[in-house]
Structure 1
Amino acid sequence: MAEKTVEQYYLPPPKVGRWEGFRTFLWNSETHQFLGRTGASWAKILLFYVLFYASLTGFFFAMLAIFYQTIDLDIPKWQLDESLIGSNPGLGFRPMPPEENVESTLIWYNQKDDNWKYWTNQLDVFLKEYTEENPNRVHCDFGEEAPPGKICDVDITSFHNCTSATEFGYARAQPCIFLKLNKIFNWRPTYYNATSGVAEGMPKELKSLVHNVTNADSRKDYVWVSCEGENPADVENMGDLEYIPAQGFASYYFPFRNTKGYLSPLVAIRFVRPKTGVLINIECKAWAKNIFHDRAERRGSVHFELMVD
């Protein structure tokens, strides 16, 4: 006689309220489940994620360690033409306008008010590292370059009328603007001098200076600097200029090799008698055979405006 088959039917769970269902989800005393999982299930999934993220962290630090083996923190891997910044340095000027006018290049102040102190304070901050003691700095001169591991000092006290003691000339309506050549690792200038010739676009006065300075027995090479008004009216309103301590950056400051404490060489431009109450557009250029000028991209040059009321 065939056994009678007993059919079993699925019984839906009893209907419970939302609050009671939520409490059961948090902790089910019948199945000993917390948030729908037993303790063993939670332990397994926790162990999985601990191992998973530990592996990811270990892999990341291993790749980071391998990456740091391929670079030198003091010497860039890509240099000169192979680098993003290339081998054509630009010029920078100080002091800079306030940060809220980040795109402005206007140096404006009223001689009779104290607002010129903003500009002198900016220069004091900029020149602070030049006045700090550093045993790594040595005196350099032409034929006396810094030994390995040392850097050439920039003597701010030799800037005469362009020092903090003279308020950088701002109180006397004879403001000083400092120029610096942007640093490019291992870049060596190719100099204009009496032997190699001068550039066609050089101002007449600078051409004469290059021949006079470099015709001496002990030749003094510079990355030369010239500043001119951009328009005929600017040339007239700008007046005479004084370049301090020289009209260029001395050759013994190059090349830049990221030696600790390195100071960029500076040239101070003192406006002797700028016309007051007018805006003066000025362009300064650096001159070396391997510096090329592009006014649109400001390659090898810098533009700023000066207005003294």
Structure 2
Amino acid sequence: MYNFGKYNAKAMADKKVAEQYYTRPPKLSGWESFKIFLWNGETSQFMGRTAGSWARILLFYLLFYAALAGFFAGLLTIFWQTLDNDKPKWQLEASLIGANPGLGFRPMPPEAKLGSTLIWYKASSPSNMEYWFKSVDTFLEDYKKTSHLENQIHCDHNTQKQEGKVCIFSADSLGNCSPEKTKGKYGYPERRPCVFLKLNKIYNWRPEVYNTTENLPAKMPTYIKQSIGGEQLKPKDKNLVWISCEGENPADVENLGGINYFPQRGFPDYYFPFNNVQGYLPPLVAVQFDHPKSGVLINIECKAWAKNIHHDRAERRGSVHFELMID
């Protein structure tokens, strides 16, 4: 009996110790738990870590991100060494934009009509036309300057290309579409609106012009073929990237009316290539539509013609599309 009692007493003592070891901590409120999380006075822990633990982890991340930033900066430095600030590394066919320039037109519709190519205005409403006047004025601002940089020179087909020099293109050469002759209205009130075309710039691209009647494209408009084969122009004056604008469909052709081009029906070849020289201005062709039919939406396609310009209507290569509507 004595042995049994001694064993029983020992078991009860062990049970008491176990109960003391697994006793649940006192239940704390959310605010009290948060205060202990911020600072535990018994363990000297701030937000679950001691000062030494915080120091070690902060030192680790400081070294890790410093090494990461240094590695990234080193790669960028190596990358920038491969680039030239004045010219692209990949040019013409080797570049993403290729060697087939497209055409751009101005004035463009308001930014609110993103993706639109419609020039639509009321000839009887000066306030309605004001946007188009201001848009053209902004576009021609650099072309209207009378003072020129030292490297800007006047060129013609007899001018020899000079390194570091660029040819001047003046807004005064735009004839009946020039700011001075139109008094800044560009023919819009008279229902003879001017649209300005330019070739998209491609570094080091040179046009291979059509200046003889040999191997002219079958789809080239007859009036351009006649200009190339005629005697009205001197041989050198035929060194143009020719421009044609026409209605896209038979109804558009009928509604479009007459078309005039200023200063000539194309871009002279002496403005090319574009080499990112300061002061360069791409040449313009002003296309004036002579009394197109009112109240009708007219689809217009303009094309640039050169031996190394290929046309693709779906991708708008070598051409530009826009619509014209006058109320």
TM-score by length of structure 2 reads 0.86
More helix by share: 2
Q: Whole-Å Cα distance in 2 between the matches of residues 157 and 265 of structure 1?
A: 13
Aligned to 1:3: none
Structure 2: give runs of 5+ residues left out of the alignment. 1-13
2:168 maps to 1:153: yes
2:44 maps to 1:29: no
* SS in structure 2 at match of 1:33: coil
Q: Whole-Å Cα distance in 2 between the matches of residues 74 and 12 of structure 1?
A: 77
- Offset, 1:234: 1.9
Provide, for residues 254-307 of structure 1, a one-character-per-residue CA deviation record: whole Å limited to 9, x for no partner. 111122232111100011232222222211110001111111221111111111
Pick aligned residue for 2:157 from 142, 162, 173: 142
* SS in structure 2 at match of 1:170: coil
What is the aligned-residue identity percentage?
57
Q: How many residues align?
A: 303
- What RMSD over aligned residues (CA atoms) do the two structures have, in Å? 2.1
Pick aligned residue for 1:41 from 53, 68, 81: 53
2:119 maps to 1:107: yes
Aligned to 1:253: 271
- Offset, 1:152: 1.3
Provide, for residues 125-166 of structure 1, a one-character-per-residue CA deviation record: whole Å limited to 9, x for no partner. 111122244413221111314522222111111112112331
- Offset, 1:226: 0.7
Q: Whole-Å Cα distance in 2 between the matches of residues 131 and 219 of structure 1?
A: 24
1:182-261 mapped onto 2 (5 Å cutoff): 182-194=200-212, 196-212=214-230, 216=234, 218=236, 220-261=238-279
- Structure 1, 264-273 or 25-34: larger mean CA deviation: 25-34
Mapped contact 1:214–1:220 kept (Cα < 8 A): no
2:177 maps to 1:162: yes
Q: Which amino acid aligns with 1:116?
A: M
Q: Whole-Å Cα distance in 2 between the matches of residues 213 and 103 of structure 1?
A: 43
Aligned to 1:17: 28
2:70 maps to 1:58: yes
2:92 maps to 1:76: no
Q: Which amino acid aligns with 1:125?
A: T
Aligned to 2:8: none
Q: 1:197 to 1:212 in 2, by over 3 A?
A: farther
Q: Whole-Å Cα distance in 2 between the matches of residues 126 and 278 of structure 1?
A: 27
Structure 1: give runs of 5+ residues left out of the alignment. 1-6
Provide, for residues 224-277 of structure 1, a one-character-per-residue CA deviation record: whole Å limited to 9, x for no partner. 001111222222221111100010000011111122232111100011232222
Q: Whole-Å Cα distance in 2 between the matches of residues 217 and 297 of structure 1?
A: 33
Aligned to 2:129: 116
Mapped contact 2:152–2:165 kept (Cα < 8 A): yes
- Offset, 1:110: 1.1
Pick aligned residue for 1:131 from 135, 144, 147: 144
TM-score by length of structure 1 reads 0.91
Q: Whole-Å Cα distance in 2 between the matches of residues 53 and 267 of structure 1?
A: 56
- Offset, 1:197: 4.3
* SS in structure 2 at match of 1:206: helix
Q: Whole-Å Cα distance in 1 between the matches of residues 205 and 281 of structure 2?
A: 15
Aligned to 1:305: 323
Mapped contact 1:240–1:273 kept (Cα < 8 A): yes
* SS in structure 1 at match of 2:105: strand
Provide, for residues 40-88 of structure 1, a one-character-per-residue CA deviation record: whole Å limited to 9, x for no partner. 2111111111111111111111110000011112211211112111111
Could you say which structure has the larger radius of gyration?
2
Q: 1:16 to 1:163 in 2, by over 3 A?
A: same
* SS in structure 2 at match of 1:143: coil
